[in-house]
Amino acid sequence: MRVEPPIDSLRESAAKDAFERARLLVAEDLERVNHLVVTRLESTVPLIGELARHLVAAGGKRIRPLLTLLSARLCGYAGDRHIALATCVEFIHTATLLHDDVVDGSDLRRGRASANAIWGNKAPVLVGDFLFSRAFQLMVADGSLRVLEILARASAVIAEGEVAQLRTTGDLGTDEARYLAVVEAKTAALFEAACRVGAAVAGRGRAEEEALATYGRHLGIAFQLVDDALDYAADPARLGKGVGDDFREGKITLPVILALARADAEERAFWKRTLEDLDQGPDDLARALAILARHDAVAATLERARAFGERARAALAVFPAGPHREALSGLVDFCIARAY
């Protein structure tokens, strides 16, 4: 008797294929980005290279530089400035990861020990600053004030989003709109900027740049919402970070916001104790998962992620069909379906 694979695993495998096709389309560009990441991380200070190589070796999906590369090519760009600029985007992303892990006290990153778990908080703060500065040096060498403007603004918005998130942490009054504003700043701003830089380097008109920016922003929101859902749903071995991290840190993410909106008095008291007062016992994560399941909160979060994904895809309509547009569209599937 033949056993049918479950529908979710089919979807997931199709999404992975879409991701691989996107990477293959700009495989040579990506290779050059990887090379530049390694060479531009070199410093006369050995600890910088050590720590940076730890992160680089851990891999990561390189989805943000991929957005820059694909956006530039979609806009017909035939030069090679997009290589250095995609590297800048990855450096800024890596700097924010280093600082986030210090802020969150995370022990895992990309399935390996986080930098702060190995080196303590000091080096990751300072190496993050180094990566950030190095990114700006690369942009200056490129010489486009427009690109500098896009990425300096994105960096400021990301920091603002992270600070805003400190205040929503443990605050059960955080509603969906306020939460989405944080997500738009802390995550979507860099997805948007990564795409915008691709259009800018190609010297395309404002309409194309705005379309790619809209695509990137909505893709970024979808990506973060899936991340939030996975934190309450994923197999930790596959995701590379712990399930329940957000719960343990008292972060108010969309699954919790949706469950709170439907909570009875007892559930509300549970969330208050565990997330606001951070008074958690060994069985509380399981109970949180049960409450979320009762209200379909994770499924509803993924539903919203899909809707943002569709808005991302719709923004691509101004471009003619072709392999690069298909690749960007495939990245939407990938971002959504990694939740299955």
Where on the chain is the footprint of a second copy (CB under 8 A)? 43-48, 95-96, 99, 102-103, 121-123, 125-130, 132-134, 136-137, 139-140, 143, 145, 148-149, 152-153, 155-156, 158-160, 162-164, 166-167
**Neighbour-count burial of 9, counting CB atoms closer than 10 A to its CB (0-12 exposed, 13-18 middle, 19+ buried):** exposed
For the bound state, the minimum distance from the C-beta of residue 190 to a second copy, rounded and expressed in Å, comes to 12
Instruction: Decide if 127 contacts 42 (C-beta within 8 A).
Output: no
- Comparing CB distances to a second copy, the nearer of 125 and 293 is 125
Helices 297-315 and 254-261: crossing angle in degrees, nearest 10, is 120
Q: Quick one: CA torsion of 180, 186, 187, 189, rounded to 10 degrees?
A: 100
**Element containing residue 271 per DSSP (H, E):** helix 265-271
How many beta carbons lie within 10 A of that of residue 114, not counting itself?
24
Q: Residue 201 corresponds to which amino acid?
A: V
For 259, the 3-state DSSP assignment is helix
- Comparing CB distances to a second copy, the nearer of 153 and 262 is 153
For the bound state, the minimum distance from the C-beta of residue 94 to a second copy, rounded and expressed in Å, comes to 13
- Comparing CB distances to a second copy, the nearer of 152 and 293 is 152
For the bound state, the minimum distance from the C-beta of residue 109 to a second copy, rounded and expressed in Å, comes to 16
- Comparing CB distances to a second copy, the nearer of 73 and 109 is 109
- Comparing CB distances to a second copy, the nearer of 73 and 186 is 186
Helices 176-183 and 206-230: crossing angle in degrees, nearest 10, is 120
**Neighbour-count burial of 307, counting CB atoms closer than 10 A to its CB (0-12 exposed, 13-18 middle, 19+ buried):** middle
The tokens 């760009």 sit on which residue?
A: 77
| Cα gap 265→220, rounded to integer Å | 34
For the bound state, the minimum distance from the C-beta of residue 280 to a second copy, rounded and expressed in Å, comes to 19
For the bound state, the minimum distance from the C-beta of residue 296 to a second copy, rounded and expressed in Å, comes to 32
For the bound state, the minimum distance from the C-beta of residue 245 to a second copy, rounded and expressed in Å, comes to 15
Instruction: Decide if 133 contacts 127 (C-beta within 8 A).
Output: no
For the bound state, the minimum distance from the C-beta of residue 337 to a second copy, rounded and expressed in Å, comes to 32
- Comparing CB distances to a second copy, the nearer of 38 and 299 is 38
- Residues facing residue 109 across a β-bridge: 112
- Comparing CB distances to a second copy, the nearer of 32 and 99 is 99
